[in-house]
Amino acid sequence: MYIETELDSDSTEKLKRIQQQTNQDVAQIIGHALTLYDQQLQPSSHSEETETQSPKKSPLEILQEAGLVGYIKDGDPKLSTNYKTLVHQEIEERHERERQ
């Protein structure tokens, strides 16, 4: 869409300052400003979206649900040196049990 407008001196200064700080052209700045303005005008739709979405889970909760935290019951004291092998073995054994 082609838009032609005349800005007052205050808006002109703001636009110049934004261009200098962001290295964006006028179309990019106006597009970003319109996006922000649109979000401000429609707060109810954004709050409804967040209410219907499930609450964000922490990385720990996600790993616990996946069975990856507390998974190895009797840990090897040398786990820091051979953990990859042990974890791989445990995962393979788990998959074998699930297949049966």
* Mean pLDDT within 68-74: 61
Distance CA 23, CA 39 (A): 24
Tens-place pLDDT, residues 15-29: 998 899 888 889 988
Q: Is the pLDDT higher at 72 or at 6?
A: 6
Q: Are 9 and 17 in contact (CB under 8 A)?
A: no
Highest mean pLDDT among 31-35, 54-58, 71-75: 31-35
Average pLDDT across the chain, whole number: 79
Q: Which two tokens stand for residue 74?
A: 């009797």
Q: Which two tokens stand for residue 52?
A: 């219907």
Distance CA 80, CA 86 (A): 10
